[in-house]
Amino acid sequence: MYNCRAFEAKEEEIPIANVDTAWATVMNKRTFIRLFAAVIASPVISPLLARASNNKLQNWAGNLKYSTDRLYSANSLEQVRSYVKKQSKLKVLGTRHCFNNIADSTDNFLSLRSMVKVLALEPEAHTVTVDAGMTYGQLCPLLHNKGFALHNLASLPHISIAGAISTATHGSGEKNGNLATAVSALEIVTAVGEVVKLSRQQDGEAFRGAVVGLGSLGVITKITLDIQPTFLMRQYVYENLPLTEVKDNFDAIQSSRYSVSLFTDWQNQRISEVWIKSRVEEGQAFDATPEFFGAKRATKKLHPIAELSAENCTAQMGVPGPWYERLPHFRMGFTPSAGKELQTEYFVPRQHAVEAILAVERLRDQVSPHLMISEIRTIAADNLWLSPCYEQPCVTIHFTWVQDWPAVRKLLPLIEKELAPFKARPHWGKLFTMSPKELKSVYRRLPDFIQLSKKLDPQGKFRNDFLSTNVFSS
Ligand SMILES: Cc1cc2nc3c(=O)[nH]c(=O)nc-3n(C[C@H](O)[C@H](O)[C@H](O)COP(=O)(O)OP(=O)(O)OC[C@H]3O[C@@H](n4cnc5c(N)ncnc54)[C@H](O)[C@@H]3O)c2cc1C
């Protein structure tokens, strides 16, 4: 279970981006959207978030103040090794984009943010090896300039590659695995400061257990990723897709192009926006018909929350551009999403997609007052032990909530109950209330993962409250 007690204890003290907590709690969705429409249109960091950075160390959304400010920034493998040897407990902090306490530590943080080099680009092996502090936003333009691309990206490029793969972060596309599936090798500094190398080719099960490692196996210092020749993409948005079309044609809709995302507020029996990202291949340009399963092609650029300015979003209206400027929904250099928010996401086996979507739609009256927007995506199956898509293709149902944890905490068990018959798995980096027992029943390889963790980190140096509760108590 997401560690609610720790969260509750902190909740009262958290200055949520300098906004009074009581005020934030009563703020409803409309007020929130009005206030933030102005704030997020500004480049790089909103003033609210900038002020928040002067406060205690906290996560990106500002909903979680970390339990220590002791942070050491390493510049080299040797510094990582010597720091790890000296500490009895620590966690690596990536770009702090998780919404729960998976990255938290009461003892020490290690940051690799200044380790951001491309170490090797090997066109013949179709791989790139990078320092683990690098973000996708840093890597992608460099790759593109050398003529290469990654297979997929999340909704934003701002996140660290190591943090993203550690939580099985994903994008969309029936044939696209999550971002961790691009990993072909890892270098990890273990609890005793030893350097371990694991590769897809040589280490079989240990590698498949380690890639989605929840930060519990050691410090990832280098990552090798699969690459492919660079490509251009176009993005179109369609508005008002009737829910009946989702019921009758979900497979056709989702498989229509390289990446398809459905955004909905669950109101009025319709999907408010369909984001379609297609590769510009010779002779296969997407025929952007005025209608798509009853939805109408947008006549202007849109944010997933239609009331917000689309300035932060990647180019739409079919303008071709490099893959890394179309696969994410949000542009580098701007605040992604809404900023002050909470997120939850469940992965449902692909064959139950429509039933699961309808089950959530039935909760619309409870969900809607607290929801900013939901997104529905599809992801290919993989073989990584703790990936929610382990041996099953999935549909994901995502919720961006107004930042009101007491209300969201009451809602999550209702959603989880509706999705339980489908054996839904929660996103490791977002908020959930499922119990450790439930997690164990849906993440079948947890016992193997615990064994692997115990080999690499027998004393639990990299364990925190989140891991002790959700992984090691099972
Ligand atoms: C606005 C927004 C949009 C998002 N969109 C998506 C999306 O489209 N799809 C999706 O799936 N998720 C999405 N997420 C969630 C996000 O991708 C994950 O939370 C991801 O883990 C963030 O990476 P991070 O580096 O910020 O992680 P952090 O929160 O910093 O850390 C996450 C975990 O990784 C571990 N870790 C980080 N670096 C290392 C390292 N070098 N070695 C070992 N362990 C390490 C940490 O210890 C921790 O356990 C979104 C989040 C936000 C805020």
> Is the pLDDT score of 61 beyond 50?
yes
Q: Which phi-psi region, left, alpha or beta, contains residue 365 (left: φ > 0; alpha: ψ -120 to 50)? A: alpha
pLDDT at 15: 26
Q: What CA–CA distances, in Å, run from 26 to 23, 29, 82, 366, 370?
A: 5, 10, 48, 16, 10
Distance from chain centroid for Cα 115: 22
d(CA 271, CA 292): 12
Residue 339 CB less than 6 A away from ligand 1: no
Atom of ligand 1 nearest to the CA of 94: 30
User: Which sign does the torsion angle of CA 242, 248, 254, 256 carry?
Assistant: negative
What is the identity of the amino acid at 427? H
The string of pLDDT tens digits covering residues 291-326 is 999 999 999 999 999 999 999 999 999 999 999 999
Q: Which 8-state DSSP code applies to residue 205?
A: H
Query: What number is the average pLDDT over the span 243-265?
Result: 97
pLDDT at 292: 97
Least confident span in 29-43, 123-137, 185-199, 237-251: 29-43
Q: Which 8-state DSSP code applies to residue 368?
A: G
DSSP string, 251-264: HHHHTSSSEEEEEE
The string of pLDDT tens digits covering residues 319-331 is 999 999 999 999 9
> Is the pLDDT score of 43 beyond 80?
no
pLDDT at 340: 85
Atom of ligand 1 nearest to the CA of 102: 49
d(CA 114, CA 5): 34
The string of pLDDT tens digits covering residues 347-360 is 999 999 999 999 99
Distance 220 CA to ligand 1 centre (A): 13
Residue 159 CB less than 6 A away from ligand 1: yes
Distance 160 CA to ligand 1 centre (A): 7
The string of pLDDT tens digits covering residues 368-410 is 999 999 999 999 999 999 999 999 999 999 999 999 999 999 9
Q: Of 236, 210, 241, nearest to 223 (Cα)? A: 210
Hey, whose CA ends up nearest to atom 12 of ligand 1? 169
Close Cβ partners of 123 (under 8 Å, ≥ 6 residues apart): 148
Beta-ladder partners of 398: 345, 375
> Is the pLDDT score of 41 beyond 60?
no
Residue 130 binned pLDDT confidence (cut-offs 50, 70, 90): very high
pLDDT at 334: 75
Nearest-5° Cα angle at 162, 156 to 163: 60
d(CA 207, CA 213): 10
Q: Mean pLDDT over all residues of the chain?
A: 89
Choose one of 73, 97, 216 to mutate for the ligand 1 pocket test, by most ligand atoms within 8 angstroms of C-beta: 97
Choose one of 72, 161, 169, 183 to mutate for the ligand 1 pocket test, by most ligand atoms within 8 angstroms of C-beta: 169
d(CA 198, CA 223): 10
Residue 470 CB less than 6 A away from ligand 1: no
Residue 166 CB less than 6 A away from ligand 1: yes
Beta-ladder partners of 131: 222
d(CA 158, CA 137): 6
Atom of ligand 1 nearest to the CA of 218: 43
> Is the pLDDT score of 36 beyond 70?
no
> Is the pLDDT score of 121 beyond 90?
yes
